[in-house]
Amino acid sequence: MKTIFLVDDDEMIQQMATFLLTQSGEFSVIPIKQGNLVLKLAKHNPPNAFLLDYVLEDMNGMEILLQLKSEETLKHIPVIFLTAKDDETHQKEFIRQGAVGVIPKPFDPMTFVDTVKQLLH
């Protein structure tokens, strides 16, 4: 069972993604709404992957990504962006900074879990 930090301040996205991931039986999900908590929680209890939204209230997903990539103990953990900012410029920048992939919002619930699995493989 893999643990995923799901970082998104949108309750509706949280609910759907958590439901889909847990139902697959392969993931347990820790939902996080505040960007500034991600690093603290991860240091304490490193997950197997991060799902990051770009637009958060207190900070943006890129800032979190950079934080994670500069931590020796966390920088190898795969990060997937889950975001409406799926234009090419943003996508390239996410990948360049070390994300393994981008799932555009709104995502398709039928393929969501498979996409996550593929990206984490």
Q: Does 10 bind other proteins (CB under 8 A)?
A: yes
HSE (side-chain half, CA atoms, 13 Å) at 80: 23
Among 28, 60, 107, 117, binds other proteins (CB under 8 A): 107
Handedness of CA 44, 64, 84, 95 (dihedral sign): negative
CB 116, CB 21: distance < 8 Å: yes
Strand partners, 31: 6
**d(C-alpha 115, C-alpha 121), whole Å:** 10
Q: Binding pattern to other proteins, positions 39-78, x when CB under 8 A?
A: ----------------x-----------------------
For other proteins, the closer of residues 109 and 114 by Cβ is 109
Nearest Cα residue to 25 out of 3, 1, 50, 49: 1
What is the smallest separation between the CB atom of 83 and other proteins, expressed in angstroms? 8
What is the smallest separation between the CB atom of 59 and other proteins, expressed in angstroms? 16
Interface ranges with other proteins (CB under 8 A): 10-13, 15-16, 19, 55, 83-84, 105-109, 112
